[in-house]
Structure 1
């Protein structure tokens, strides 16, 4: 057995042997067994339930603070938000315990009072804020806008279901009632579904702050809590369902605490996910939410007609659809931008593939294609231009000056041709010009014009750089020449000019 394998097994066994994890699992099991399998009086249930939640939420807050202090720097901000959320949950639980101590038989003692609801809302807002503020790496403005629209769509869909199931609180319609109504509306499954959405986005991104197991536990906690939040308060007070609903809330809170503890243990033992999926750039959750809301709308209209609940659901469906449409418009705009960037990149790559980077002229490949097309259309004339004594220019003045001289030659060649003619840099100090419809006499004149244009000196910076070129000409037509042979003929003519010039220079010296 290899040392690496033994290290992995030892690390894994240490994670499994964690006593705090064992305690949390026992709390979940005890909650299910105690509430579900051993029903007791309501006051005893309330005391046990809120004591368990206080302990579990306190564990979540403390462990989150430890992860924020000792975990990776990139993730510390997220776990600070989680610490604040856990503290808010604990404050709400303690306030609820005070209420239970005063009146254990009150309905609010079991299902939660406005004070406790308010701190659940605060805690959930802190959790979601931390999830959405965690950096996902490089993100364009368009991608960030789509992420926000996706979250808003999920929230709108979940809120629609919550409003459909919502029971208006009893009591006088005063300011306290209005506050309780607002808090109850906020603590609906919407915030939990947004938490699910945020967890999924982080897990699918390239910079997830969770191990795979922590992400799965967090998603399970959010899903379970979202389902439990859809249950009306009257159902919680029904003795047939109360034990199981309380047990479910305990299990959901334990899962949340296990997320923090598992993340802490993974960090301590350097246990990492086995692999990383490629980040997905879309989510089906908003579309599923819209489809679910429209299915609910059809069901409500079919069963009860256009009543108050149907109007609420219809408005929710309209808002959800509008958000999805906005998301699609944003996506189409982004696709259009990507297509435009693709076209620009294609044009740039094509230019780089067929043009000389220094002078911007056509390169040898493009020139040969132009020559082939010209021969197919009729008679053409090729002029091959080679600079004389270019190497001494590089040696005396430097390669930067030599490059500037080549750029000047390219400019003069462009100015010396007609519209529709082609000029190219074949490589080094060798250029070529392609013209159509020239007589031999006119071709000879072009040779003289090009030679004159490339003769003399060029001022480059403070230097006077000599410029002289030899020009060879070859004419051909389709059926008699091919591009290679015609270019070779022009090359031979150019070298003949060079040799003649050298012979003349040699005779002058004698």
Structure 2
């Protein structure tokens, strides 16, 4: 219903919008500095014009409300973020109304001090706090598993219970002084509500994350709550100076940090999203800070009791500290195991290189990047690697693969990726590279692999066929690999130990090879293959010593197909084994017939 009443979302903020937000932030900062200076001056001697202290208060909050309203209409923000800023602007507007009513009461109601807070003003203050809490609770926390939600609930319960204990202590100890200083017992409720809002902000920031808001934005808003709570806590210490009000100090600071949050929001929405940083600490620190604060409160309370309660309190704190330390050790052990499992899931166990899954993920990311000069892929297949395994054993073959992986890693630049896709097939993903640079790196790979490799006591000469392809707009990782594969097999057909850059006409040849492979399989069962026998004679007499069996293919449509065409296809598709077995059987049958 209400969605149709709102105007269309404003276009994303450009440079003028950010400049306006920055100017607003600096203006609010100047008002805050003026308020701090005037407050410090009032600590020395009473001010001659009390109304001056209220000017930054009544000016800064409407300015902050207007800034929040402007950012709430930015189309660059998600709907949840716009809703948050819209609610916050309403909260600041209600606070502005409460401040205006408070100033009116101070200068019109006879016999009240500068700290007087009337009933209507108090209702408006509490309304602004409730709207702010509503805005914070409205931020989504993202998709989480049931276990994660349970952990989040337990951590939040620890923090809120600690906050409740401190609020109870505050009500018992400080409430009379706050009521005496402000002239209203409702002021204690405002202080407690500010403390609760501060805790809620910390819980939202450290436990659930910022959601659609940048963490820097929520941190600035958290500082505004801290400034409000800290300034309100100064009230009992100003009992001897009735001409000073903590409102003069706290409200401009709240408005300034709100303006800072708006400026940060516009700045991060105009910048490209940065890669998420890896979280170094495997647990949230906030619940343990709450436990430590509760221990401090326990120590303070135990000082007024007998020695027996003090010993019990000390023992309780010591046991709690040991349990916390044991839990932290368990957290780091679990994090280490998770890192190992994550590494095993994304890396090859033999060579420690990236596996196909991780390579595909990085290739997709590189292809979607708009910055940089280009992306290239070099697909590497070792020539005649099967011979090494068959003649020298798999241990030597594995040692050769590890040595090749090390040499490939030495050839690339920072930011590139080497992966083992399986067997003797490797891939090198080159980021931010030109075609000429990709050629140079590929040539360096061939030169490096051409040096003899020491593998398990054997000196082996490694040769490789490489297919090189450049990434283009709209291409995905599977297409990039397919083109590189086509170019790599073209390199094998041209004599191996070389690299070939992909070209469009190679696809036509690949399709022809695929068709020829399918027809070759049919030729085995249809009797289209036959053998020619070439005599082998002994010199110098010329006596017949044997014959060489040569396979030929008589295609029903194309006639005789050259072995130079179908033998490479058979090798590529793996049918060379079946063709070889057929040749052996047919030659033996013919020899028996002779």
Q: What TM-score do the two structures reach when normalised by structure 1?
A: 0.51
Return the match for 1:69 from 68, 73, 94: 73
After superposition, residues 399-410 of structure 1 pair within 5 angstroms as none
Counterpart CA distance in 1 for 2:287 and 2:22 is 38
Quickly say closer, same or farther: Cα 1:260–1:290, change in 2 above 3 A.
same
After superposition, residues 446-485 of structure 1 pair within 5 angstroms as none
| 1:110 match | 115
Alpha-carbon shift at residue 82 of structure 1 (Å): 1.5
The reply on whether 1:59 has 2:59 as its aligned counterpart is: no
Return the match for 2:224 from 216, 221, 224: 221
The reply on whether 1:195 has 2:195 as its aligned counterpart is: no
| 1:161 match | 166
1:390-443 deviations in Å (ceiling 9; x for gaps)? x8899459xxxxxxxxxxxxxxxxxxxxxxxxxxxxxxxxxxxxxxxxxxxxxx
Alpha-carbon shift at residue 123 of structure 1 (Å): 2.9
1:262-321 deviations in Å (ceiling 9; x for gaps)? 2366379x468999744565331221121011111112111x228xxx9xxx9xx99xx8
Quickly say closer, same or farther: Cα 1:274–1:340, change in 2 above 3 A.
closer
Counterpart CA distance in 1 for 2:582 and 2:521 is 21
Alpha-carbon shift at residue 189 of structure 1 (Å): 1.5
8 Å contact from structure 2 (residues 65, 92) kept in 1 = yes
8 Å contact from structure 2 (residues 69, 89) kept in 1 = yes
Quickly say closer, same or farther: Cα 1:105–1:55, change in 2 above 3 A.
farther
Alpha-carbon shift at residue 67 of structure 1 (Å): 0.2
8 Å contact from structure 1 (residues 65, 83) kept in 2 = yes
| 2:297 match | 296
| 1:485 match | none
Counterpart CA distance in 2 for 1:148 and 1:158 is 15
Counterpart CA distance in 2 for 1:113 and 1:148 is 38
* Moved segments of 4+, more than 6 Å: 39-44, 271-276, 331-351, 391-394, 494-500, 507-510
Quickly say closer, same or farther: Cα 1:121–1:72, change in 2 above 3 A.
farther
User: What secondary structure is seen at the aligned counterpart in 2 of 1:89?
Assistant: helix
Structure with the bigger RCO (C-alpha within 8 Å, sep 6+) is 1
Root-mean-square deviation over aligned CA pairs? 5.8
8 Å contact from structure 2 (residues 65, 90) kept in 1 = yes
The reply on whether 1:90 has 2:93 as its aligned counterpart is: no
Quickly say closer, same or farther: Cα 1:344–1:209, change in 2 above 3 A.
closer
User: What secondary structure is seen at the aligned counterpart in 2 of 1:73?
Assistant: coil
After superposition, residues 309-458 of structure 1 pair within 5 angstroms as 395-396=521-522
8 Å contact from structure 2 (residues 38, 53) kept in 1 = no
Quickly say closer, same or farther: Cα 1:188–1:238, change in 2 above 3 A.
farther
Return the match for 1:124 from 126, 129, 139: 129
Return 25-34 or 270-279, whichever deviates more.
Answer: 270-279
Counterpart CA distance in 2 for 1:335 and 1:247 is 50
Return 180-189 or 142-151, whichever deviates more.
Answer: 180-189
Alpha-carbon shift at residue 54 of structure 1 (Å): 3.4
8 Å contact from structure 1 (residues 137, 207) kept in 2 = yes
8 Å contact from structure 1 (residues 165, 230) kept in 2 = no
8 Å contact from structure 2 (residues 98, 125) kept in 1 = yes
8 Å contact from structure 2 (residues 21, 67) kept in 1 = no
Counterpart CA distance in 2 for 1:196 and 1:54 is 28
User: What secondary structure is seen at the aligned counterpart in 2 of 1:187?
Assistant: helix
The reply on whether 1:305 has 2:305 as its aligned counterpart is: yes
Quickly say closer, same or farther: Cα 1:292–1:81, change in 2 above 3 A.
same
Alpha-carbon shift at residue 159 of structure 1 (Å): 3.4
1:203-250 deviations in Å (ceiling 9; x for gaps)? xx58662484x5554343232223234445x4454317x637344313
8 Å contact from structure 1 (residues 142, 334) kept in 2 = no
User: What secondary structure is seen at the aligned counterpart in 1 of 2:115?
Assistant: helix
Q: Which ranges of structure 1 fall in alignment gaps of 5 or more residues?
A: 1-10, 171-176, 354-363, 370-390, 398-493
| 2:253 match | 252
8 Å contact from structure 2 (residues 194, 228) kept in 1 = no
Higher helix share: 1
8 Å contact from structure 2 (residues 106, 116) kept in 1 = no
Alpha-carbon shift at residue 122 of structure 1 (Å): 3.7
Quickly say closer, same or farther: Cα 1:136–1:239, change in 2 above 3 A.
same
| 1:238 match | 240
Alpha-carbon shift at residue 115 of structure 1 (Å): 4.3
Alpha-carbon shift at residue 56 of structure 1 (Å): 2.0
1:339-363 deviations in Å (ceiling 9; x for gaps)? 7998799799999x9xxxxxxxxxx
Quickly say closer, same or farther: Cα 1:38–1:336, change in 2 above 3 A.
closer
Counterpart CA distance in 1 for 2:332 and 2:193 is 35
Counterpart CA distance in 1 for 2:130 and 2:154 is 17
Counterpart CA distance in 2 for 1:22 and 1:496 is 83
8 Å contact from structure 2 (residues 28, 252) kept in 1 = no
Alpha-carbon shift at residue 28 of structure 1 (Å): 1.5
Quickly say closer, same or farther: Cα 1:502–1:342, change in 2 above 3 A.
same
User: What secondary structure is seen at the aligned counterpart in 2 of 1:159?
Assistant: helix
Counterpart CA distance in 2 for 1:346 and 1:210 is 32
